[in-house]
């Protein structure tokens, strides 16, 4: 790991303004600093209101930040604008919680997977069809799914399509926001296995956001715990699990272990 | 005699494409004063079982059972009358259970007035007392609030207070913590445990979360494809599961495998709800299946109070 981390966040502050003359509210993210090394998985855990979604949105450049810096692959990610930002956004793939909300019900799976490629300027044709078929099989789906629509799929299958779409432009960083929270335990296991396969085969770096500490403890190399806007814990997963510094982390870990 | 005694309950819903077998053969024996967990994945029939006890199955659904009793009364005839008097419901999403345009005071009062003839001031005092019993720190302030001004955990406490207001002694809690954060969910489970101890309540806890079972329940029943396949004390079901499905479900949990190792996903998918199952419903996905398994219904195996349905002998579990 001699190269730059894929993601380097330094004292990031995000604050929502209520209005021009309103009092300054407490920041949604209060000076978050962490790094995600290439080829590793970073798990971000926190309850509602902890700031994890704000943090994600800032990393996706969907939200302005008040201060601090984000470097993506060594580059000042917050300085990019316009067409350059659009180009570089291809380096990040995103998977959200509910695949039935993020996949268009009107399009076939083939159209859904073609969309990012077309948007990036690829031409439709047999080469693209091969790429789509490859993505589908990499994500563990049979080729005859190409003509189907999202509503014909189970939750686990739809989430596989969402992962395939996120990988369509071969990003180096995959961001997953609660990707298994809507799934059953046995399907969650399949998706987590798929993610570790993809991480290996595509040398992906993964940012995995969830409220379920046990899920991230299983798949992540480093772990970050947020509470009320503060990063209360950041370190190697095994260190955080075995010697949590905060009572809150211990509480999350002990649930169900009676 | 168990408070809730169900043997071989089935609920079928006729559709133009054939009957949907939402519940095929569920047996449940729930004793007074216990929290009994019903666990299973989507489509296994756990919510429909709860709805059948409440008398809230979809129109046209057919209910059949060898026994379907609550406190000695036949639920096939009396579910509608028992609902709201003896049997209460705590649903998954408290925000959807509460009316957004009415104050908590009004919503509590509606419930209390429907069940008891008390003067207005006494009802208000009763509402405050019930909210206090659910651990809400400032009941008077909560009474003046509207649902959107309360957090998810506070809303769920209000819903529990409403269930108590009916005088119900049997609560069906359908995924009561799923919409809440882990730490808040743990508090709600603690509250249910305390209410069971203090008020002699009995709770049927529907969940897909093994942690909730471990945290809150005394006994648990595992459902698969509309059938109860295993039942017993929580320690037995979770630590020494008898049914291969329960074992597979526990093995698929992320903390069952060492960090980074592959998880034991269950191959295949649950039987289609319209299909007819002759043998064991899990046979097609079971790693230990024998030819017998898909041909004949499995016999009951038991280890003390712990029972399951499987062709494999007891010592194979």
Q: What is the tally of helices (H) and strands (E) in chain A?
A: 10, 10
Contact A256 B212 (CB under 8 A): yes
Mean pLDDT over A130-158 rounds to 92
Chain B residues in contact with A255 (beta carbon < 8 A):
182, 186, 211, 215
Q: Which of A76, A201, A215, A194 is nearest to A139 (CA)?
A: A194
Q: Using CB atoms within 10 A of its CB, is residue A126 exposed (0-12), middle (13-18) or buried (19+)?
A: exposed
Contact B262 A185 (CB under 8 A): no
Distance from the B84 Cα atom to the nearest Cα atom in chain A, whole angstroms: 30
The per-residue pLDDT of chain A, averaged, comes to 91
Mean pLDDT over B52-64 rounds to 93
pLDDT band at B300 (very low <50, low <70, confident <90, very high): very high
Contact A185 B248 (CB under 8 A): no
Return phi, psi of residue B23, to 5°. Answer: -130, 130
Does A247 lie at the interface with B, CB-CB under 8 angstroms?
no
CA B309 to each of CA A25, A213, A224, A237: distance values in angstroms, whole numbers, following the listed order? 58, 33, 43, 40
User: How many angstroms separate the CA atoms of B289 and B66, rounded?
Assistant: 29
B132-147 per-position pLDDT tens digit: 999 999 999 999 999 9
The pLDDT value recorded for residue A19 is: 76
Which helix (H) or strand (E) segment is A173 a member of?
strand A173-177
Return phi, psi of residue B292, to 5°. Answer: -55, -35
Mean pLDDT over B36-42 rounds to 93
Q: pTM, whole model, 2 decimals? A: 0.87
pLDDT band at A186 (very low <50, low <70, confident <90, very high): confident
Is the pLDDT reported for residue B217 higher than 60?
yes
Q: Which of A176, A177, A252, A258 is nearest to A217 (CA)?
A: A252
On whether the CB atoms of residues A62 and A50 are closer than 8 A, the answer is no
E-strand stretches of chain B = 4-13, 20-30, 35-39, 62-64, 67-70, 73-74, 87-90, 170-174, 202-207, 219-224, 227-233, 300-303, 306-309
Does A189 lie at the interface with B, CB-CB under 8 angstroms?
yes
Mean pLDDT over B190-209 rounds to 95
Q: What ranges in chain A are assigned the alpha helix state H?
A: 52-59, 82-89, 99-102, 109-119, 126-138, 155-166, 185-201, 213-219, 237-242, 247-254
Chain B residues in contact with A47 (beta carbon < 8 A):
181-184
Nearest CA in chain B to A187: B265
Instruction: Say which of B183, B262, B263 has its CB closest to residue A252.
Output: B183
The pLDDT value recorded for residue B37 is: 97
Return phi, psi of residue B174, to 5°. Answer: -95, 105
% chain B with pLDDT above 70: 99
Does A77 lie at the interface with B, CB-CB under 8 angstroms?
no
Nearest CA in chain A to B210: A256
Task: Compare A217 and B67 and report the one with higher pLDDT.
Answer: B67
Is the pLDDT reported for residue A28 higher than 50?
yes
pLDDT band at B183 (very low <50, low <70, confident <90, very high): confident
The pLDDT value recorded for residue A35 is: 95
The pLDDT value recorded for residue B165 is: 94
Nearest CA in chain A to B216: A256
pLDDT band at A1 (very low <50, low <70, confident <90, very high): very low
Mean pLDDT over A62-78 rounds to 93
pLDDT band at A182 (very low <50, low <70, confident <90, very high): confident
A223-242 per-position pLDDT tens digit: 999 999 999 999 999 999 88
B229-247 per-position pLDDT tens digit: 999 999 999 999 999 999 9
CA B121 to each of CA B116, B128, B131, B221: distance values in angstroms, whole numbers, following the listed order? 13, 11, 16, 43
Mutate to test the interface with A, among B155, B247, B253, B257 (most CBs of A within 10 A): B253
In this prediction, the answer to ipTM > 0.85 reads no
The pLDDT value recorded for residue A77 is: 94
The pLDDT value recorded for residue A40 is: 94
The pLDDT value recorded for residue B267 is: 83
Does A255 lie at the interface with B, CB-CB under 8 angstroms?
yes
Contact A251 B183 (CB under 8 A): yes
Does A184 lie at the interface with B, CB-CB under 8 angstroms?
yes
pLDDT band at A257 (very low <50, low <70, confident <90, very high): low
The pLDDT value recorded for residue A17 is: 81
């Amino acid at each position: 790991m001699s190269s730059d981390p894929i993601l380097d966040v330094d004292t990031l502050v995000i604050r929502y303004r209520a209005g021009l003359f309103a009092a300054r509210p407490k920041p949604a993210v209060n000076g978050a600093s962490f790094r995600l090394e290439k080829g590793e998985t970073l798990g971000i855990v926190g309850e509602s209101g902890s700031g994890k979604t704000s943090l994600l949105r800032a990393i996706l450049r969907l939200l302005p930040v008040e201060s601090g810096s984000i470097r993506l692959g060594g580059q000042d990610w917050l300085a990019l604008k316009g067409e350059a930002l659009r180009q570089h956004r291809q380096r990040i793939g995103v998977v959200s919680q509910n695949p039935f909300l993020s996949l268009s019900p009107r399009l076939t799976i083939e159209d859904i997977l073609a969309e990012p490629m077309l948007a990036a300027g690829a031409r439709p044709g047999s080469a693209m069809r091969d790429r789509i078929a490859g993505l589908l099989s990499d994500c563990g789906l049979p080729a005859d799914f190409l003509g189907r629509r999202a509503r014909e799929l189970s939750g686990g299958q739809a989430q596989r399509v969402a992962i395939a779409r996120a990988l369509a432009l071969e990003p180096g960083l995959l961001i997953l926001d609660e990707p298994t929270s809507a799934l059953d335990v046995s399907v969650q296991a399949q998706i987590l296995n798929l993610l570790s396969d993809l991480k290996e085969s595509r040398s992906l770096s993964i940012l995995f956001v969830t409220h379920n500490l046990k899920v991230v403890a299983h798949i992540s190399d480093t772990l970050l715990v947020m509470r009320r806007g503060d990063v209360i814990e950041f370190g190697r997963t095994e260190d955080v699990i075995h010697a949590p510094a905060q009572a809150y982390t211990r509480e999350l870990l002990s649930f169900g272990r009676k | 005699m168990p408070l809730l005694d169900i043997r071989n309950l089935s609920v079928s819903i006729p559709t133009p494409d054939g009957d949907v077998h939402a519940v095929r053969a569920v047996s449940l024996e729930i004793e007074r004063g216990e929290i009994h967990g019903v666990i299973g994945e989507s489509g296994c029939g756990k919510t429909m079982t709860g709805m059948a006890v409440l008398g809230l199955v979809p129109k046209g659904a057919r209910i059949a059972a060898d026994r379907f009793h609550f406190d000695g009364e036949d639920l096939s005839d009396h579910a509608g009358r028992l609902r709201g008097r003896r049997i209460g419901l705590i649903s998954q999403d408290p925000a959807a259970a509460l009316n957004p345009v009415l104050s908590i005071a009004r919503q509590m009062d509606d419930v209390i007035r429907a069940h008891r003839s008390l003067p207005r001031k006494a009802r208000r005092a009763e509402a405050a007392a019930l909210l206090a019993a659910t651990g809400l720190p400032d009941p008077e302030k909560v009474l003046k609030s509207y649902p959107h001004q309360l957090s998810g955990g506070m809303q769920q406490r209000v819903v529990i207070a409403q269930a108590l207001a009916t005088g119900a002694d049997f609560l069906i809690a359908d995924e009561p913590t799923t919409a809440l954060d882990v730490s808040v969910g743990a508090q709600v489970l603690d509250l249910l445990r305390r209410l069971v101890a203090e008020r002699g309540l009995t709770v049927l806890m529907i969940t897909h979360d093994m942690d909730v079972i471990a945290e809150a329940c005394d006994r648990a029943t595992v459902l698969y494809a509309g059938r109860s396949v295993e039942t017993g004390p929580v320690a037995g079901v979770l630590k020494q599961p008898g049914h291969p499905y329960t074992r597979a479900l526990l093995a698929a949990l992320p903390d069952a495998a060492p960090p980074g190792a592959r998880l034991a996903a269950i191959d295949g998918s649950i039987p289609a709800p319209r299909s007819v199952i002759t043998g064991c419903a899990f046979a097609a996905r079971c790693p230990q299946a024998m030819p017998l398994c898909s041909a004949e219904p499995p016999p009951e195996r038991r280890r003390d109070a712990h029972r399951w349905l499987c062709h494999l002998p007891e010592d194979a579990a």
